[in-house]
Amino acid sequence: MVNIYVGNLSYNMTEDDLRNMFEAHGKVDRASLAMDRMTGRARGFGFVEMPDDAEARAAISALNEMEMQGRKMMVNVAKPKEDRPSRRERY
Give me the half-sphere count of Cα atoms (radius 13 Å) on the Cβ side of residue 42: 19
> Residue 84: what pLDDT?
63
> Residue 33: what pLDDT?
97
Compute the distance between CA of residue 89 and CA of residue 26 in angstroms, rounded to an integer.
Answer: 42
Q: How many helices (H) and strands (E) does the chain have?
A: 3, 6
Q: Mean pLDDT in each 10-residue stretch from start to end of the chain (91 residues)?
A: 96 94 97 93 95 97 95 94 65 53
Say whether domain 2-78 belongs to CATH 3.30.70.330. yes
